[in-house]
Amino acid sequence: MPAEAVNIEAGAIIANYRNELNGAQIKIRYLDKVIETGVSTFGALVGDGCKIGANAVIAPGALLRPDTHVPRLGLIDQFAYD
């Protein structure tokens, strides 16, 4: 199902690999839980109505709840530990 009303401005990046983890699996933090994806390459979960500004960087495993606004040059890095 395609995302509704999502806007990603020019130059924004949704990365899918964490170099500093050297191939470790990506985990997602949701509320007080850590979700194992089982994969080492994974982009982000972007909710309906999200706006991602120009040249923003979204790290692998980030979860953007509906209607999240990421400013231009912003960084979303939701690193999930066990």
- Closest among 61, 19, 23, 65 to 40, alpha carbons compared: 23
Are 26 and 43 in contact, with CB atoms under 8 Å apart? no
Query: What is the tens place of the pLDDT at every residue in 7-45?
Result: 999 999 999 999 888 888 999 999 889 999 999 999 999
Q: Is the whole-model pTM more than 0.75?
A: yes
3-class secondary-structure state, position 14: strand
The domain segmentation of the chain, as residue ranges, is: 7-76
